[in-house]
Structure formats: structure tokens, C-alpha cells
Structure 1
Amino acid sequence: MLGGRGGAVDASVPVVVFVVAWLVADALRAPSAVGWAAAVAVLGGAVVAAVRLGTGTRPRAVIFGLLGVAVAALVALYTGRAVDFFLVQLVSNAASALAWTVSIVIRWPLLGLVVGAALGQGVRWRRDPDLLRGYRRASWVWVGQYVLRVAVFLPLYFADAVAALGIARIGLTWPLIVVCVALSWRVLRRTLPPGHPGLRHPRAAAAARDGR
């Protein structure tokens, strides 16, 4: 789900090299500081992708990661504003907050779908009212992390604070996800009643009502 520590590094490298390249090019008054920064970011993403492919990482994950960097770079090149390198991230977090909220409201919490797929149990957890309630409550933690990012990114974006956005982008990626995983797990565990067999063993609605 999270890509592990390697995934966190992969996501951070293009951001770091973009910000550093833009700061250097801007300080040197290069004709196209944004162009240089975008090129370096894509190059950094390509190097990371090549390394991951060489270590056996699934090609699809590598391609999606590189595609995200390329799109962000193209947006910045199109507008000519370095801050727009973070626009895709800002929009995707707002969209993710909305998607997770909708999934909770319609009783198909995305956390349940992700964990159910990871455990190979499909959507059997939806027949267990305790698990359904737990996944719904725990999913709000994930809504909160997306909302937090938007709340931090948005004022920095409008202030054209490129370096600060880069720092926030890294600080609110894997460290925040680690906290989010811990909190959502705690919420889920506290929601399940005593005697519940746990995530790996969804109970049918009748069994859950009878306490079996």
C-alpha cells in the first residue's frame, strides 16, 4: 500500500532535485530556471526508475511514479512557474480527501477495500458490521491526512514558496503516512468488540449479532 521505505525515497528524490535545481538556476539568473529544474527532476525520476527496475520492482509501479514526475514537470513548464510543479500533488490530495469521504458515506470505505485486497479476502469484510464500522471510522484518519496536506500546501502555493513547498511535500509524505497507519490501526482495533477474531477473519452479520 505504501511502497515501503524505498517508495518514500522514490517520491522524495524528484522533489528535492527540482527545488535544489530551481534555487541554483534562479540564483544564477539562468534564462529558464523552471526548465532546468523540470529537466533535472525528470532525470532524477528516471534514474530512480532505472534503479528500481534493476532491483526487480514491478514495472507498473515504476512507470506510474515516473509518469507523475513527468506530469508535474510539464505543468511547471507550461505555466512557467516553479510552484506549479506541486499543483498536481495539491489537486490529487484534494481529490483523495473527497474520494475517501464519499467512500465512507456510501459504506464502501477505501481502507477496507485496500486491506481486504491485501489480505486476499475481497469484500467479505462488508458482511461483518463490526469490521465495516471499524473501517469507516479508521478511514476518517486518512481523510484527515489529505485535508492536512491541502491546508498546508495551499497557502504556500499561493505565496509562491517553492522551497517551503518542497520541505512540506517531503515532511508530509512518509512521516505523515506512518502516523496515519498507526492511528488508523488503533482506531480500528478499538472499534472491534471484545472477542472479535480480527481483520483476517470477517464474521457474517448474523454471527456478529450473536457475538460468535
Structure 2
Amino acid sequence: MARRNPKPDASLAHILGGHGGAIDATVPVVGFVLVFTLADSASWTSPIAWAAGAALLTAVVIAVVRLAGGKQPRAVLFGLLGVAVAALVALYTGRAVDFFLVQIVSNAASALAWAVSIVIRWPLLGVVVGTLLGQRTRWRRDPDLLRGYQRASWLWVGQYLVRLAVFLPLYVADAVVPLGIARAALTWPLVALCVALSWPVLRSALPEGHRGLRHPAEGDAGSRSAT
């Protein structure tokens, strides 16, 4: 009996790149919360400005380190831009909790985008992995692989919904420190979990003998239509 190729398991984790970027996004948040708590308790002038400055400085240091390490400039600049926009929002509104508003909106938009992509049969996990593998849209011509990407993409919808379920009540309660802790606890751990579970869930849709992510079946070679 033909056996599934075990290699795509490791390949998928490698393709998705782990959770280094999520950790980078968390560090400026920790800096913001720590400095804001210190400045507020010490009655410094403009504690939000101090906290925003700390977040931006931390983000700049991370960006310089990542660029020196050979990371793609576009990814680094997007991360830096996200921190800058969050800091500007907090400074504009004068509410420290609004530093997290961009993250909340981003999670809501991401959950919607991933869910819609599944419904219209363009699951974003397939788009991302197919692009990174240089397959373009070939994976969509494999009904089993398409169905697998749809199933696995629900994991990514779930991570955004989990964050929203935790973040929104804390945001409404103006709980800056708990929100910062929740942001750190639910960012890179959830990303790592999704990366780890994506292949087993995707594999559940593939029949025995399927050659895996790197070798999508063409045309009618897939055994069933995606659902």
C-alpha cells in the first residue's frame, strides 16, 4: 500500500517560516506597556509619549538587527510601520489602550479575509504556500490539495477569532497591562501552533499515495472535488 510522503510535514513548517516575525512584533508591545506603566506610576509628563517612544525605538533596533541579518527589507519595514501607526494612534487619541487598536482591527480584517478566501475556494494558506513554492495556481487544480488548504486555513481564522475574543473585552475595559500581556501570550504562541497543526490538518484531506505539497496533481488527477 502506498504511504504518504512524510517530508512535506517538515517542508510546510519551513515554508511558513515559524514564528520569528511574530516575536519581533511582540517586543515593541512589551516595551510600550512597561514604559507606560513606569511613567504613569511615577507621574511623568506625557506617559503615552514615553511609551510610544519606547515602542518605536525598540522596533527600530529590531529592524536594524533583522536587516543586518539579511531579512527582506519589505517585511522589516511593514513591521516597523505597524508599530509607528499604533504609536501615532495612541498619541492622537491620548489613550494608551488605543495602541492596540490597530492590532484589533487587523485581526478582525484578517479573520474575515481568511474566511472569505475559504468560501470562494481561494484559501489564503494555499495562496501563500503556492506562491512561496513558485506553483502559482497549480495547487488549485488538485481537488484534494485544495480541500486540504481549505481545512487548514480554518485554523488561521480561528487564531484571529481567539485573539479578538480576548482583546475586545480588555480594550473596552481600558485594561492596558492585561491587554499587553494577552497580546504577548496570544501572538507568537498561536502562530507557532497554527504552523505546527497546518500540515496534519491539510494531510487529512490527502488520499494515500498523494505526492504532497510540492507535487500537486493536475486536472482530474485529484480524487474528489474540494468542499
Spell out structure 1 runs of 4+ moving beyond 3 A.
1-6
Correspondence for 1:73: 87
Asked if residue 21 in structure 1 is aligned to residue 35 in structure 2, the reply is yes
Measure, in 2, the Cα distance between the counterparts of 1:183 and 1:5: 13
Asked if residue 150 in structure 1 is aligned to residue 164 in structure 2, the reply is yes
Correspondence for 2:215: 201
Measure, in 2, the Cα distance between the counterparts of 1:4 and 1:131: 22
Which of 190, 193, 197 does residue 204 from structure 2 map onto? 190
Correspondence for 2:134: 120
User: What are the Cα deviations for residues 185-212 of structure 1, in whole angstroms up to 9, with x where unaligned?
Assistant: 11101111111111111112322249xx
User: What are the Cα deviations for residues 97-116 of structure 1, in whole angstroms up to 9, with x where unaligned?
Assistant: 00001000110000000111
Correspondence for 2:116: 102
1:138 maps to a residue whose letter is A
Correspondence for 2:67: 53
Measure, in 2, the Cα distance between the counterparts of 1:2 and 1:74: 30
Measure, in 2, the Cα distance between the counterparts of 1:9 and 1:184: 19
Q: Give the drift of 1:30.
A: 1.6
Correspondence for 2:47: 33
In structure 1, the residue corresponding to 2:122 is in which secondary structure? coil
Task: Select the structure with the greater relative contact order (CA < 8 A; seq sep ≥ 6).
Answer: 2
Q: Give the drift of 1:84.
A: 0.4
- The TM-score, its normalising length taken from structure 1, stands at 0.94
Q: Give the drift of 1:29.
A: 1.1
Identity rate of aligned residues, in percent? Answer: 70
Asked if residue 131 in structure 1 is aligned to residue 150 in structure 2, the reply is no
Asked if residue 160 in structure 1 is aligned to residue 174 in structure 2, the reply is yes
Q: Give the drift of 1:61.
A: 1.4
